[in-house]
Structure 1
Amino acid sequence: MENQEAKSPPWDIFIHLFALIALYLSIYAVVELLFSYIALAFPDPLDWQWYRPHETIRWSLAFLVIFFPAYWWSWRQIEGDLAANPGKRRLRVRTFPIYLTLCLAGLLILCDLAYLVYYFLDGDLTVRFLLKVGALLAVAAGVMWFYLTALRREPGSMPALTVAFVWCATVAVLAIAVAGFATTGSPFKIRLARLDVKRIDDIAAIFRHVRDYAREMNQMPTTLDQVASAGYMDGKPPVDPETQAPYEYRVTGPGSIEICADFQVAQDAKSIKEAYYADMASYQHGGNLMEGDWAHGAGHFCFSRTVIVGRHPNSVSSAPAAAQAPQPKP
C-alpha cells in the first residue's frame, strides 16, 4: 500500500498548514508565559517601568487556550489520515512542515546556546537568565525530538515513549495555563481593579485642576463645581465610573485638600502602574497618575495633598502628603 501513489487533496494542504500555524503560536504562547513567570519570580531592576508581565500573561494565555487545542485537533486528524493512508507519509505537504519545524527548532537551540555563551563571557549570568535559557531549550528540544520521531516511525499506532511524551507535554501545557489563571486572577477581579485605576486617574486629574485653580485664582476652591465653572475642567467634574456618584472633595487646611472614593480592591503602586500602562492611550499622559503615592486599600479611602495658593510658593510646601489610612464612611 505504501508504494502506491498517494494523492494530496486540498484538505491535506489546509490541515498541515493549519497545524503548523497553531503549533508555532502555541510555542510562542508557552515561551512567553514561562518568561513572564520567571520575570515575576526574579524581577530585574533594569526592566522598563512600563513592562507589564500580567498583561503579557493574559495575552499569551488567550493564545494558548485557543491555539493549543486547535493544534491537538489538527494533529489527531493528520495522524488518523496517515493511519488510513500510509502512502501519504512521504508527501511533501507532510514532510515540508516537519523539516521546516526541525530547522527552526535547531536554530532556536543554537541561538539559545549562543546567548548563554555570550552572557557567560560577559560575566552577566543570573538565575533569571539561566532559567529563561533552560525554558527555551526545553521547549525547542521537545519539539525537535517529537518531529524527528514522527519522521522515523511508521504510520499507525504510536510507540509507548511517544505516547508518554504527548501526554506529558499536554499536562505541562495545562499546568502552564492554570498557573496563568492563578497569576492574573479572575476576570471579575481584574475588571474591578481597572475600575479602581479609572478612579485614581479621575482623582489625579481633580488634584491637578485644583492645583491650577489655586495657583491662578490665588484662592482655594471650596467645591469642584467652582473649578469646573472657571474653565479648569472639560465640562462637569468627573464622577465614579461605576456608581456615577461625585467624588468627595473637601478643603482640610489653608493649603491642603482631601479627595475620597470607594475602591473595590486593594492595590499597591506597582499594580496601579501596570494596569495604567496596559492602556496605551492612557500611557500618553501617564505622568499625571504618577504624581504622588496612589496606593490604596479596599473600601472608602481618602488621599490628602498639599496645594500651593497663588504664584509665590514661599509659605506652603508643594510636596504631596502621604496617603491617609482608610476612612470609615459616616
Structure 2
Amino acid sequence: MSHGNWGSRLLWAAGIVTALAVAAGVWIIDSPAQQRLQRLDDSRVQDLRNLDSAIRSYRQSHDQLPSDLAALAAQPGMALNLSDPQGGPDYRYRRLDESHFELCARFATASNVGLRRGTAFNAWNHPSGEHCYRRSLQDED
C-alpha cells in the first residue's frame, strides 16, 4: 500500500468524522432558529411567573384575587409584561374561585422536562401551542 493511498483514506475518514460530529452537534443543541424559539418561550414562562407572583402579592394586599390583568398592572410600582414577546396574543388571566386562577400563553415549542429547564421551571412545563396553567394560592412556585 502506498503512502499516497493511505493518506487519501485518512483524509476521507477525518472528513467523515468531522461531518458526523457537526451533524450530531446540531442535532443535540438544536438549530439557532429553534434555540431562539426556546428563548422566547423561556421569556414567556418568566413573564407568567412574574404575573403569578404579582397576583399573589395583590391577593395579600386586597384580600381577593384581581379581576383582570389590567387591574393588576394598575397597581403602583408594577412593571409587568402583559404581552407576548414576539407579538403574539397577550397573556390571559382568569379567576376561577377565591383561591385558584389560570394564566395562559401561546408557546412556540414544548418544554423538555429536565433537559433545558432547571427544577424551578418544572411547575411551568408546557406543550407547544396554547397552554393554561391552573394555579392555586397554596402552590409554592
2:95 maps to 1:251? yes
Match of 1:301 among 93, 113, 131: 131
2:85 to 220, 227, 241: 241
Note the 1:284-295 alignment, pairs <5 A: 290=120, 293-295=123-125
Structure of larger gyration radius: 1
Instruction: Find the aligned partners of 2:116 and 2:76 in 1 and give their Cα distance.
Output: 29
Aligned residue in 2 for 1:196? 41
Q: Is 1:319 matched up with 2:110? A: no
**Any stretches of 5+ residues in structure 1 without a counterpart?**
1-156, 275-286, 308-317, 322-330
Partner AA of 1:209 in structure 2: A
Who is 2:110 aligned against? 266
Matched, 1:224 2:69: yes
How many angstroms apart in 2 are the aligned matches of 1:247 and 1:298?
Answer: 15
Among 178, 184, 199, the residue aligned to 2:23: 178
Deviation of residue 232 (structure 1)? 5.0
CA distance in 2, matches of 1:251, 1:190: 33
How far apart in 2 are the matches of 1:237 and 1:166? 54
- Could you say which structure has the higher helix fraction? 1
SS at structure 2 position matched to 1:215: helix
For 1:245 and 1:299, locate their aligned partners in 2 and report how far apart those are by CA, in whole Å.
11
Cα separation, 2, equivalents of 1:245 and 1:296: 16
C-alpha deviation, 1:159, in angstroms? 3.3
- Aligned partner letter, 1:197: D
Give the CA deviation at 1:305.
Answer: 0.8
Q: TM-score, normalised by structure 1?
A: 0.39
- Mark the CA change 1:293 to 1:197 in structure 2 (over 3 Å): closer, same or farther: same
- Structure 2 Cα separation of the partners of residues 197 and 252 of structure 1: 25
Give the CA deviation at 1:164: 1.9
Letter in 1 for 2:18: V
CA shift, 1:258, in A, is: 0.2
Q: Distance in 2 between matches of 1:302 and 1:247?
A: 10
Matches of 1:319 and 1:238, distance apart in 2 = 22
Amino acid at match of 1:304: R
Cα offsets for 1:286-321 (capped at 9, x unmatched): x9xx266111111110001112xxxxxxxxxx1369
Instruction: Tell me the distance in 1 between the aligned counterparts of 2:68 and 2:122.
Output: 22
How large is the Cα RMSD of the aligned pairs?
2.5
Asked whether 1:165 is paired with 2:2, we answer no
Question: SS of 2:94's equivalent?
Answer: strand
Gaps of 5+ in 2: none
CA separation of 1:294 and 1:170: change in aligned 2, threshold 3 A = same
Work out whether residues 269 and 293 of structure 1, in 8 Å CA contact, stay in contact via their aligned partners in 2: no
